[in-house]
Structure 1
């Protein structure tokens, strides 16, 4: 995918670039795509789990971005706006694939504890492979929380599940990743 790997020096997104997009300037659309495609593709790949679905989801998301650029008020909020559109398209993709999130009983979940990173001997590759091998529900919650930095409450709203379920899925995903990494090293 040439366009996704060839944006080493993307154009900074400014109010002027957004204004050009709003006027229908095709070059401005290309500059906007070049500025965000790699980062958004990485989100799609993490969430969908394969290249083909990530590419399709990215394309659908950017079609929506370009179709709704008139609604964007300031260039300063464009990153969050595009990211939200991309994440929503990824979630729609997962729903079409019939991914369901298991509701769990209300339980007390311990707050995040710090990890002794010096004692963690797993490699980055082992962690990536473990995350990729997670069940889709666990992987989705883990990606949204760790990599996309959404709160448990925001994830619960996005997935239409309880906050307790999000916390439990996250906790279980982390434990499963730990177990898988431990088995691989």
Structure 2
């Protein structure tokens, strides 16, 4: 018997199939978006196993709540927000994002041009992943997902001031990491130049 593979040519067709409860559409969505959604979850849950678990829970939530998608934006964007919410729920349950020293007022004003340095995307994402959980969570929500401090405060159950402090400290730490990276690169260039000179 010939097996017919479903081919959803448009997002609307795929969403309509999901709303009908078509299991083939579930498979297509997972295969099409798993990589992107895992990347989203990994930004919040740096442990790979935790990120995969959150992603799977997120897909289940997407399939269960698909009727809530009103199609006034992109399906991928809506799904991304579901994944972020699942990630935050995981962090709150495990209390990871609260494992910080108490937040005081920030007295050091970070250099907001820190991102203008010549650093590749993978290096930058690696630095973000090394931030303490609270800093990383707020940084991702604000700088990558585009949420306001008021929205972040409501999502995490913190004050707007704490959200702003977490972001400022995250930026300051990233600035320090970038300067260290630049110094290491400069030192390596000097060493190469010295070796080239002495080998003559």
Instruction: Kindly provide the CA deviation profile for residues 26-83 of structure 1, in whole angstroms up to 9, marking residues without a partner as x.
Output: 1112222233222211110111012111110000010111112133232744233212
Question: What is the aligned partner in structure 2 of residue 37 from structure 1?
Answer: 34
Does residue 1:63 correspond to 2:60, yes or no? yes
RMSD (Å), alpha carbons: 2.9
Larger mean CA deviation between 129-138 and 77-86 belongs to: 77-86
TM-score by length of 1: 0.79
Does 1:54 pair with 2:39? no
Name the structure 2 match of 1:136: 133
Q: 5+ unaligned residues in a row in structure 1: which ranges?
A: 1-9
Tell me which of 89, 92, 95 is aligned to 1:95.
92
Q: What is the rounded CA distance, in whole Å, between the counterparts of 1:20 and 1:79 in structure 2?
A: 15
Query: Are the aligned partners of 1:138 and 1:172 in contact in 2 as well (CA < 8 Å)?
Result: yes
The structure with more radius of gyration: 2
TM-score with structure 2 setting the length: 0.73
Displacement, 1:24?
Answer: 1.6
- Which deviates the most, 148-157 or 133-142? 148-157
Question: 2:170 maps to what in 1?
Answer: 173
CA distance in 2, matches of 1:164, 1:13: 43
| 2:78 aligned partner | 81
1:88 deviates by 0.9
Task: Flag structure 2 segments of 5+ consecutive residues without an equivalent.
Answer: 1-6, 185-200
